[in-house]
Structure 1
């Protein structure tokens, strides 16, 4: 009989953590899911996937900045696999809280790697890296409106505290893989969305705002730069890829992306059409507005407060 594998998911209450738990439970794993807070209101994603009361999932609280607690967790459960999805996931918030974001993502990863070494265990390790590490690089070929394709060998040049912290953690994985022979892999994740996304992320914000307008709300949907181009995928698919990475005989770094560019503007257009709005754009730049031609209602307006201080290149994976 095949031994049941044990996996630790750090950040199980987030979008990716919930989908990863679904993937692992379907493969008969014993899942140890931890997060900084395990309150009932934090479990809505697991509840949405029917996993909140799963016998295969054990939930607990962990701050990976707490080295002794992390080491105890590893020694108690002796995981075959560890998935580090922890830390702040909002690029915008990293400009407001750079110290918190950098400590959680960068130093949190370092403490986790050191705990693995101290435990004497050798689990397969997954690190959630980010396309934000690529940032902006003047040495890249001239970019077109649809973005420039990058690969695992492309240069990094982050333009946000979030991207910089992710890059520090990414290089830690490379260093510990080579110096300590850990089976540690990084997934360079491009934007990935789902119904489990927080509403403050642009994809959910668009859908939430337009659905409210279709139901009679008078609150206009306000957005930042709608001509930003991103490579958007589905979070559930990306967590299937996360699991597959740790089944490889040799650890490595992988881009997880669709290879297809889409602008924020195009997402607004698709969502508006699905809700039977006849959207028309007027104006340019910060003066752009979106009007429903059927009713003449103002649906979308630009608010420059949502612009980032610095923008990465329009990249696709």
Structure 2
């Protein structure tokens, strides 16, 4: 039985990846930070099938002990301070976790067992102020946020350990990928959740920032398969994972509100407070390398993704209303 260790297992990608690997017959271990409450909502249905361990990307010795204990054949580093606006408010913490945390995991692997295969979750935010469109593996990076800078550090450190120590270390440069498990602080889920609340008369408006920002949005469930495929390849490498199609925040809003038969323009308000100090205007990926070498391709369309998120949030909101009524 193959053994996988996932950092960030309680996040969106971690939950989908854990389910995917369990279906493949893996023994799955997850690293979680200690807290007074632990956010297990996304993996609530998996807690009897996976083993969780307390750990932190800031603690080198704890990471060494964890890798030694679990003895994984594959490590997936999905943990990060991943909310771009927060990275402007907390740039040092973002660097410690999202950048240096990668080095600490790589050091743990190098120290314990160099045969472990390693996946690093890189990000399209590294491209930032893009040099070319679409962006591919050879496109130069120009990050526009502390998050993007930190991800770039982690990406190049992964390349460095691969070349310096012959580790099987691959990076997936994943473009925006969403799902019903996305946190409500992210714009896509902020929209779908607000749509559900507005449709049920619990909210009157939705305040957003730059409606013209363009992103290449895919389904997180599709993208975790690409992570796994990278570690099944004969040689380690870096791959862009994307749909190759871009859409504006405005278009996301339109489709989301149309799903519940509402006109988005009646409810969406542009609020300058949600603009970033340095914004990324457009991102669109060329995943032809992953499609050719790994045999990967996205299955869920943009429209299907939007509808999926709205439908699930409609169920959530109705459940919340029912619970509130029962408790009243």
The TM-score with structure 1 as length reference comes to 0.87
Deviation by residue 1:108-153 (Cα, 9 ceiling, x = unmatched): 111111111111342110000000000114xx35xxxxxx201000
Q: 1:166 aligns with which of 142, 151, 162?
A: 151
Q: 2:33 aligns with which of 12, 36, 58?
A: 36
User: Which segments of structure 1 move beyond 6 Å, counting only runs of 4 or more?
Assistant: none
Alpha-carbon shift at residue 39 of structure 1 (Å): 6.5
1:300 matched residue in structure 2: 268
1:120 has 2:105 as partner = no
1:16 has 2:13 as partner = yes
The TM-score with structure 2 as length reference comes to 0.84
Question: Aligned pairs, how many?
Answer: 285
Bigger helix fraction: 2
Find the aligned partners of 1:213 and 1:179 in 2 and give their Cα distance: 54
Q: Please, which moves more after superposition, 33-42 or 187-196?
A: 33-42
Contact 2:212 2:281 in 1 (8 A): no
1:204 has 2:189 as partner = yes
Deviation by residue 1:65-112 (Cα, 9 ceiling, x = unmatched): 211111111111211000000111101110000000011011111111
Bigger strand fraction: 1
SS in 2 for 1:53: coil
1:96 matched residue in structure 2: 89
Q: 2:71 aligns with which of 70, 78, 86?
A: 78
Contact 1:15 1:45 in 2 (8 A): yes
Find the aligned partners of 1:39 and 1:82 in 2 and give their Cα distance: 26
5+ residue gaps, structure 2, are 286-328
Alpha-carbon shift at residue 52 of structure 1 (Å): 2.4
Contact 1:38 1:60 in 2 (8 A): no
Contact 2:30 2:53 in 1 (8 A): yes
1:210-289 matches, cutoff 5 A: 210-279=195-264
5+ residue gaps, structure 1, are 142-147, 280-289, 292-298
Find the aligned partners of 1:243 and 1:181 in 2 and give their Cα distance: 20
Find the aligned partners of 2:110 and 2:47 in 1 and give their Cα distance: 31
Q: Which structure: larger Rg?
A: 1
